[in-house]
Amino acid sequence: MFDDTNSKAMYDRACTSLAMGVATGFRRAVTPVPLYYERADGPYYYDVDGHELLDYTLAWGPLILGSNHPALNRAVTEQVARSYTLGAQHAGEFELAELMVEVLPGVDQVILSNTGSEAVQAALRIARAFTGRNRFVKFEGHYHGWFNNVLVSCHPDENEMGRPAASCGGQPGHEFEDTLVVPWNDLPALEKAFADHPDRIACVLAEPILANCGSCMPVDGFLEGIIELCQEHGALSIFDEVITGFRLALGGAREYFGLTPDLSTYAKALAGGFSMSAVGGRRELFDVLRDGRTIHAGTYNGNSIGVAAATATISTLREPGLYDRMHRHGHTIRETIEKAATDRGHRIVTSGAGTVFSVHWGVDAAPSNYAETLRADHETYRKFRAAMLERGIQLLPDARWYVGAVHGDAELEKTVAAVQESMKEI
């Protein structure tokens, strides 16, 4: 049995003063108890019960370089001695912007903020100010942060599907009355939304791979279809690249799929574990900020530490061949899971890319939308995850895996063996 005695004690103590015991609602889903850690190094986390755990959560995405990375440490510690945050300008801001413009295809300019949720709100506001329209389309199952206008139909139950539904309490309907919801990979449904709301839709917001829900890939032509329909109807296309940015490729989904939406949002892997986000896109779209049609603000925008971390992270990720290596690592794990499961008579498929993917138990085909992800057997995955933890490998509770530059051959060997052994136990 995995010993979590000290984690349990800490969780109990945390629950008396920290409202949820954890700092983010989603972390409560970690079973049997949220673990507590002393430190992390490279791809390993060290918990308070003495375990060394090989990590494929990457802190839900950001730790693409792992922890305690020399280049990132150097950049941040050198910056700490110069300034934390200035509430004013410094060269680091435009140097980071120049770097992002260089590596992100079709991005002429960026704005900086601190979290993915903020970047999404900034992109929506730009789209609304630019088009003079209020409504926008999102897709069922897609997560774009925790604010009321986008936390809509993220995990709807069967009665809530097919219409915009609040994803938690405290979300008054009027705060998402301009949010239209369409099933992922359903171009006719998107066409219908445009037909039903002529000249009213400011933008279409999408995770280019539905990483937050089963890593559902876009079917052929779907992303192109979004961009074309937006162009046809005078709306903006927005890729929410908070997960896919700097993860699918250095240039994110734009590079990976060879597509240029109007705007993209970035966070997570952008700064390797430090708080930093951005919106990038065509220059003219940012006119709305320059000419005062709307504003973008934030006390910590462009803070020195986040900027230094982002610049060091992107510079490190430029190493030739790095993304191929990361994808290969992930694909080897996917193939191992599929083969080990099939050999033991399980039905299993994996979906997504090499650097972010999901495992679906008890189904024969990769899901193509939110509704199809509901068919998977989550209970068996829970057992598999527990068996992996017993073998010193930690995974996210939602069957999603993150692979980073920090995962090397030694980690792959360990993971392949653990997958094969864990499968025998299920």
Ligand X SMILES: Cc1ncc(COP(=O)(O)O)c(C=O)c1O
Q: Which residues bind ligand X (CB under 6 A)?
A: 115-117, 120, 143-145, 207, 212, 240, 242-243, 267
Query: 178 vs 240, which CB is nearer to ligand X?
Result: 240
Minimum CB–partner distance for residue 150 and ligand X (Å): 8
**Rounded least distance, CB 240 to ligand X, Å:** 5
Q: Amino acid identity of 222?
A: F
Q: Which is nearer to ligand X, 54 or 278 (CB)?
A: 278
Strand extents, DSSP E, 25-96: 37-41, 44-47, 52-55
Joined together, the tokens standing for residue 106 give 């079709």
Q: How far apart are CA 97 and CA 112, in angstroms?
A: 9
Q: Closer to ligand X at the Cβ: 211 or 289? A: 211
Could you tell me the smallest distance in angstroms from the CB atom of residue 145 to ligand X? 4
Residue 52 beta carbon to ligand X: minimum distance, rounded to whole angstroms: 26
The token pair at 151 is: 């936390």
Q: Are 246 and 269 in contact (CB under 8 A)?
A: yes
**Between residues 113 and 311, which has the closer beta carbon with respect to ligand X?**
113
In the structure encoding, which two tokens stand for residue 137, read together?
Answer: 């389309």
Least Cβ distance, residue 244 to ligand X (angstroms):
8
DSSP string spanning 137-191? EEETT----SSTTT-BSSS--TTTTTS--BSSSS--GGGGTTEEEE-TT-HHHHH
Q: Between residues 27 and 331, which has the closer beta carbon with respect to ligand X?
A: 27
How far apart (Å, rounded) are the C-alpha atoms in residues 9 and 213?
32
CB of 122 or CB of 418, closer to ligand X = 122
Instruction: Tell whether the torsion through CA atoms of 376, 249, 261 and 290 is positive or negative.
Output: positive
- Alpha carbons 300 and 293: distance in angstroms, whole number: 22
Q: How far is the CB of 247 from ligand X (least distance, A)?
A: 11
